[in-house]
């Protein structure tokens, strides 16, 4: 007796299903508890010592850290900060970063910053800005400043990359003067000096708060690294009286700034004559 057509179709379907379930790696067959969707292979665990992406991103953030050091208070002035409670990073008067405080130091995230000169306002002391220089915004670095907020170094205390000295209104220093007359310029602006000690050795004088350049002088030669600025600078040196042996008449002021040379009015290169910074740092264009 021949089975009805419908019965033959059912039997053939069952045979096909059994054959499919026998194929390797085919999911969807089995008991009622088996999954009805394909299984997904588990994701491999990260190797030991490898952080997840968000942690890698955070650890790669470059920072500028400012700390106090009393060893940098061997300059004239009064103590302004015995601790750092707040700090802002300024560029031409605008706040670009606010520091987070950690262990008495101020730490700035440098993400998004361009290389260049900036200023740190410590404890909201706007008349005692601390200049800083970022040469690589993708690499962390440390800066130390004295409690007088006048002298600072970038890098290590023992072997800094830059040494900085300010002539600020907060420390009652003389404002910038005109090279032509020696008179304080109005409105009054104040200066700072930054000495490059590692590469491209030079001494720059600039305007505090804006970084507008005043003068730039190559350094080195016969004088030690602290000769221009520092605890034993040329203004304090016992051998100052012999400077004229090489530099001639230091108080002989050339008629124009370009007329200055190492043997002709050399003191006027940065400040108004041999009296030093007390006579004011000069603006060569005035």
Q: What is the CATH number of the domain that holds 81?
A: 2.60.40
Considering the domain architecture, whether residues 151 and 252 belong to the same structural domain is answered as no
Domain membership of residue 145 (yes or no) is yes
CB-based contact 192:131 (threshold 8 Å): yes
Structure tokens at 102: 């950690």
Domain membership of residue 72 (yes or no) is yes
Tens-digit pLDDT profile for residues 77-96: 999 999 999 999 999 899 99
Tens-digit pLDDT profile for residues 256-274: 999 998 888 888 999 998 8
Q: What's the rounded mean pLDDT across residues 32-36?
A: 35
Distance CA 183, CA 69 (A): 35
The burial class, CB within 10 Å (0-12 / 13-18 / 19+), for 179 is buried
Domain of residue 150: give its range. Answer: 60-165
pTM for the full model? 0.76
Considering the domain architecture, whether residues 179 and 277 belong to the same structural domain is answered as yes
Give the total number of structural domains in the chain.
Answer: 2
Tens-digit pLDDT profile for residues 176-226: 999 999 999 999 999 999 999 887 788 999 999 999 999 998 876 666 666
The burial class, CB within 10 Å (0-12 / 13-18 / 19+), for 246 is exposed
Tens-digit pLDDT profile for residues 111-146: 999 999 999 999 999 999 999 999 999 999 999 999
């Amino acid at each position: 007796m021949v089975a009805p057509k419908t019965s033959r179709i059912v039997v053939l379907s069952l045979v096909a299903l059994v054959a499919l379930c026998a194929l390797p790696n085919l999911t969807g067959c089995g008991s009622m508890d088996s999954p009805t969707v394909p299984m997904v292979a588990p994701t491999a665990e990260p190797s030991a010592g490898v952080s997840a992406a968000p942690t890698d991103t955070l650890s790669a953030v470059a920072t500028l850290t400012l700390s106090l050091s009393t060893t940098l208070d061997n300059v004239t002035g009064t103590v302004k900060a015995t601790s750092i409670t707040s700090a802002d990073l300024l560029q031409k008067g605008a706040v670009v970063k606010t520091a987070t405080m950690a262990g008495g130091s101020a730490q700035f995230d440098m993400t998004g910053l361009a290389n260049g000169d900036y200023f740190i306002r410590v404890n909201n002391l706007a008349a005692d800005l601390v200049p800083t220089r970022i040469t690589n915004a993708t690499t962390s670095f440390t800066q130390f400043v004295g409690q007088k907020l006048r002298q600072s170094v970038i890098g290590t205390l023992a072997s800094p990359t830059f040494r900085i000295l300010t002539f600020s209104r907060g420390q009652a220093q003389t404002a910038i003067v005109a090279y032509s007359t020696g008179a304080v310029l109005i409105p009054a602006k104040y200066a700072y000096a930054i000495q490059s000690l590692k590469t491209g050795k030079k001494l720059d004088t600039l305007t505090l708060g804006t970084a507008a350049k005043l003068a730039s002088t190559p350094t080195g030669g016969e004088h030690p690294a602290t000769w221009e600025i520092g605890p034993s600078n040329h203004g304090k040196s016992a051998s100052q009286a012999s400077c004229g042996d090489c530099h001639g008449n230091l108080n002989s002021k050339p008629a124009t700034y370009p007329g200055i040379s190492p043997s002709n009015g050399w003191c006027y290169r940065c400040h108004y004559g041999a009296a030093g910074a007390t006579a004011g740092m000069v603006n060569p264009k005035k």
